[in-house]
Each structure stands twice: as C-alpha cells, then as structure tokens.
Amino acid sequence: MDEPVLRSLGLTIRFGGLVALDQVDLEVRAGEIVAVIGPNGAGKSTLFNIITGVYGPTEGRVWFDGKDITGRPTHEIVARGIARTFQASRLFADLSVLDNVVLGLHTRTTTNVLEAMLLPGRSRRELARAAATAEGILEQIGGNLFEQRKRRASELAQADRRRLEIARALASQPKLLLLDEPTAGMDDNDTDALIEDVRKLKADRSDMAIVVVEHDMRLVAALPERVVVLDYGRKIADADFDTVRRDPRVQEAYLGSSAS
Ligand SMILES: Nc1ncnc2c1ncn2[C@@H]1O[C@H](COP(=O)(O)OP(=O)(O)O)[C@@H](O)[C@H]1O
Ligand SMILES: [Mg+2]
C-alpha cells in the first residue's frame, strides 16, 4: 500500500476572527519533496506549527505514518519522526556547531544528551558516540560545516547557519523534514548550493520526505516533485511546478499581494 507518510484532512485554524488555515487537505508520500508556496500570511508557517503540535487545529486532523497525531505534544511528534527548521533561526548561538547537532540527537539517544553534557563522566561513551554521529551528519550536509565544527554557531555565515539548522534537524533521523524558508537571507550562489545540499540529502536518505516552505522560485522550480499553493489559508493549487505556474488562480494570488 502506498500510504502517505503525512496526511491532513480539513485542517482549519482560527486565531480570533482570522482563519489562518481553511480546510486544507494535504498528502505527502515517503521520499517525496513538496514545496508549499503562497503570499505572505497565507498560512505556510501555521501549517508547520499544526503538523508539529505547536497549535492544535480548530478543525481537521493530521496523520503521520498512519497514526493520528492531531494536537499531540511537540516532543512526541519529534520522537515519531518529524523534524523542522524555523523561519527565524533557533540555533544555540554560543554553542559550537558540533554541539548544536549533538543537541538535536537527544530525541533518539537513551540518555538525555543535555544531562550528559552537564554531568561529565556519567555517560562519556554515549557522548562520544553522539559526537561521532553528529560529525557524520556535518560531513554529509556540506558547506565546510564539518571543518567549522568547533566554531561557535554565532560565528557562521548566514548560509552556514541555515545549513546547521538542517543538520540539527537531521540529527533526529526524521522520516519527514519540514524546512521553513531555508533560503531566507541567501544570495543566488548560496541558494544554488542549498539546492545541491538538499539533492544530496535526498540521494542519501531516499525514504525521507521533505516539505519546504519557500519563496525563491529557483528552488521551487528545481527541487520539488509537487507544489502546493496556499492563499488566505486555502489550498488553491496542488500540482507540478509547470501546471501551478500557469494556473490563473495562482497568478492572481501572487499579483494581488506581494509574493513571499
Ligand atoms: N499565534 C498566532 N496568533 C494570531 N495570529 C497568527 C498566529 N500565527 C499566525 N497568525 C496569523 O495567521 C496568518 C498566517 O500566518 P503564517 O502562517 O505565519 O503565514 P506565512 O508563513 O504563510 O507567511 C497571518 O495572518 C498571521 O498573522
Ligand atoms: Mg512563514
């Protein structure tokens, strides 16, 4: 059976009088890359917030891996295999690049890594193992992050910080990776490099699905198999890039307000 890894049905959330998501149905299959685009305020980040349990929907349900995860707490959802990056960076600026990834591992290790860091000698072996795993992830992500593993996260260039966020998300070995505007603040060269990073990632982890919220049309044209368009909380298109691009409703949505 080709059961989708992620499915939502009738997803709706109201913030006071504002309907931020309105009856959104979504399906993402294992290994698929889906882009979610739409004007500023369309509900893209809110969709991620509901999938990851930050908010419970007013109506509708979300299934992951065949299980209903609607309104479950975030830590449980992460442990089940969904990882995300945020539109605004949430790295530990004063920790090293390596330690930021090590912290991302803690959902999958038996001992709490944070505890182990605070109590040296207690589980040195586990920490060493975690560091080795984190180094492997840094080697995989590219952009010289491995070579920069001992630097503080705050010292990284903007593009490397974005890469590090992805590396940290990967540490939890997700089945579904949610990327919220990963190219924000990047120039064209960095965007091209990120596209390559994600392609490589996909080649290495063929079963992992990726949903990427993006405004950069280079990336949207290059990466995803499918593009979902949100406008005022409604899904107005769900097809391949060329079909979506020619859709009059999509064109109208983008002409009617500033693209984001
Ligand atoms: N916690 C919240 N409380 C009130 N309104 C919110 C909240 N989160 C998002 N919104 C509103 O929901 C709409 C969609 O926001 P968002 O999902 O961040 O848009 P996008 O990511 O597509 O730019 C916006 O109008 C935003 O102001
Ligand atoms: Mg957003």
Q: Which residues belong to CATH 3.40.50.300 in the chain?
A: 1-81+174-260
Cβ neighbours of residue 205 under 8 Å, at least 6 residues apart? none
CA 183 to the chain's CA centroid: 12
CA of 42 to the centre of ligand 1 (A): 8
Q: Quick one: fold of 1-81+174-260?
A: Rossmann fold (3.40.50)
For the Cβ of 234 lying below 6 angstroms from any atom of ligand 1, the answer is: no
Q: Whose CA is nearest to atom 5 of ligand 1?
A: 15
Q: Whose CA is nearest to atom 18 of ligand 1?
A: 45
CA of 55 to the centre of ligand 2 (A): 15
**Phi, psi dihedral angles at 183 (to 5 degrees):** -100, 5
3-class secondary structure, 60? strand
pLDDT tens, the chain, 260 aa long: 578 999 999 999 999 999 999 999 999 999 999 999 999 999 999 999 999 999 999 999 999 999 999 999 998 999 999 999 988 778 999 999 999 999 888 665 545 666 666 666 656 777 788 899 999 999 988 778 999 999 999 999 988 999 999 999 999 889 999 999 999 888 899 999 999 989 988 888 999 999 999 988 889 999 999 999 999 999 999 999 999 999 999 999 887 654 44
Find the ligand nearest to 43 CA.
1
pTM: 0.91
The count of other CB atoms within 10 Å of the CB of residue 203 is 8
